[in-house]
Amino acid sequence: LLFAILASNVHSRSFFVHDPVDYVNLHIGTGGDGFGIGSTMPGVQLPFGTVRASPDTSGSLFLNWRHFGGYYYGDDRIRCFSHTHMVGSGTLDYGNICVMPITTATSSVVRDYGFQSKFRHSSERLFPGYYSVYLKNPQIEVELTVAGTHTALHRYTYKSTGVERLVLFDAVHSLVEGSCVNAYIRIFPENATVVGWSQSKGSLTRRNGMGTTVFFIAALPHPVVSFGVWNDSQMFTNTTEISGNTSRAYVGLMTSQSSVQMALAVSFVSIEQAKVNLKSQWSSNTSFDEYITAARRTWTKTLSQVNVTAGSNQTLVKFYTAMYHAFMAPTQFSDSNGVYLDMANKVKSLPPGTTHYSDLSIWE
């Protein structure tokens, strides 16, 4: 239907006066009310990507049904940046592996999202494959991009001098409050990595009886100088491991630079598979900006499959934003090497060159 609407003015060719990425408005689909809720997220992913790193927001009044995509345009606070989101669903699910840059680690910071920050839309910069926002409270600019279908990249620029560079990992967070069944985080200070998983039962994923477990590995190309964990709101410094459905952790990084970076890969199979995804998709020798360029190039190639040769700028924005949304989902459920978890919770491998998808939303 999307492509039939403008059929008389659409041609399949590669020439564009403008990059079609420039016509994508990532805020479209993040507002509305009632049955007009768009349920999309403005964050970063590749076409049909597993990882969808995006801000999860809240406001003075938090209504669950406004946050099916995690982000609601009418909100003024960012709770954190999580790495799994559904697209266009009519219910809450996912929102796993929450990360947030902070400047202080205390027992109170994890109570009722004490680490959330106010933001303004005027500070957001976004296009397919890139998202950035200025967090007002800790005075940190957050930038997101992707290195592959399973790997998100973060860059945090601290605007204040003399503050600690801390990164908080919340394995409890999900878009469905209280849906975390179990979680685990382990810090490896000697090689600046954090691994873990979060098992949650969302509105859809609980229907198989087990929920969904999202595994992750985070690589931080900076020496770790401090670390600790929280069990509920009780904080334990110099502790590297925590489990249970109140598991959170932090690492402090040593750097003289104002910016710190992180690569975070996910898997629905295991931590080892998350490591496989990270190794195959990310290299510390490739810069953050180079990954931004590569992600944009991928989206340009995808959207350039259709060239609209007539219509107003408004029409082009509607068309290419809708086309972008069409390539957001379904979700690649298999890992970069073809390994996946079947519905019987058994690990399987796909034939070479094939991909297993999930999240075929009946709402859309």
Q: In this predicted model, what pLDDT tens digit does every residue of 338-356 receive, in sequence order? A: 999 998 889 999 999 999 9
Predicted local distance difference test score (pLDDT) of residue 187: 98
Query: Is residue 30's pLDDT more than 80?
Result: yes
Predicted local distance difference test score (pLDDT) of residue 289: 98
Beta-carbon contacts of 126 under 8 Å, excluding residues fewer than 6 positions away, are 26, 27, 42, 132
Beta-carbon contacts of 288 under 8 Å, excluding residues fewer than 6 positions away, are 143, 145, 153, 155, 261
* Beta-bridge mates of residue 356: none
In this structure, the strands spanning 259-267 and 125-127 are unpaired
Q: In this predicted model, what pLDDT tens digit does every residue of 197-210 receive, in sequence order? A: 999 987 777 777 67
Residue 362 pLDDT level (bands cut at 50, 70, 90)? low
Higher-confidence position of 128 and 107 = 128
pLDDT averaged over every residue in the chain: 91
Other CB atoms within 10 Å distance of the CB of residue 59:
13
What is the average pLDDT across 98-107? Answer: 94
Predicted local distance difference test score (pLDDT) of residue 10: 45
DSSP symbol at 63: -
Q: Are 81 and 54 in contact (CB under 8 A)?
A: yes
CA dist., res. 233 & res. 202, Å (int)? 23
H helix or E strand, kind and range, residue 212: strand 212-219
Question: Residue 258: helix, strand or coil by DSSP?
Answer: coil
CA dist., res. 225 & res. 208, Å (int)? 42
Residue 335 pLDDT level (bands cut at 50, 70, 90)? very high
Residue 91 pLDDT level (bands cut at 50, 70, 90)? confident
Q: Please, how many CA atoms are within 13 Å of residue 9, restricted to the half-sphere of its CB?
A: 11
Beta-carbon contacts of 303 under 8 Å, excluding residues fewer than 6 positions away, are 20, 21, 24, 128, 320, 323, 324, 327
Predicted local distance difference test score (pLDDT) of residue 13: 39
Four-CA torsion 356, 358, 360, 361, nearest 10 degrees: -160
Residue 145 pLDDT level (bands cut at 50, 70, 90)? very high
Question: Residue 294: helix, strand or coil by DSSP?
Answer: helix
The single residue listed with the structure tokens 């947030």 is 100
Query: Is residue 8's pLDDT more than 80?
Result: no
Predicted local distance difference test score (pLDDT) of residue 309: 82
What is the average pLDDT across 306-318? Answer: 91
Predicted local distance difference test score (pLDDT) of residue 257: 83
Q: In this predicted model, what pLDDT tens digit does every residue of 164-187 receive, in sequence order? A: 999 999 999 998 888 889 999 999
Q: In this predicted model, what pLDDT tens digit does every residue of 207-240 receive, in sequence order? A: 776 788 999 999 998 999 999 999 988 999 999 9
Predicted local distance difference test score (pLDDT) of residue 117: 97
3-state DSSP of 148-172: CCCEEEEEEEECCCCCCEEEEEECC
Q: In this predicted model, what pLDDT tens digit does every residue of 257-282 receive, in sequence order? A: 889 999 999 999 999 999 999 999 99
Query: Is residue 331's pLDDT more than 60?
Result: yes
What is the average pLDDT across 25-30? Answer: 97
Query: Is residue 3's pLDDT more than 50?
Result: no
Residue 17 pLDDT level (bands cut at 50, 70, 90)? low
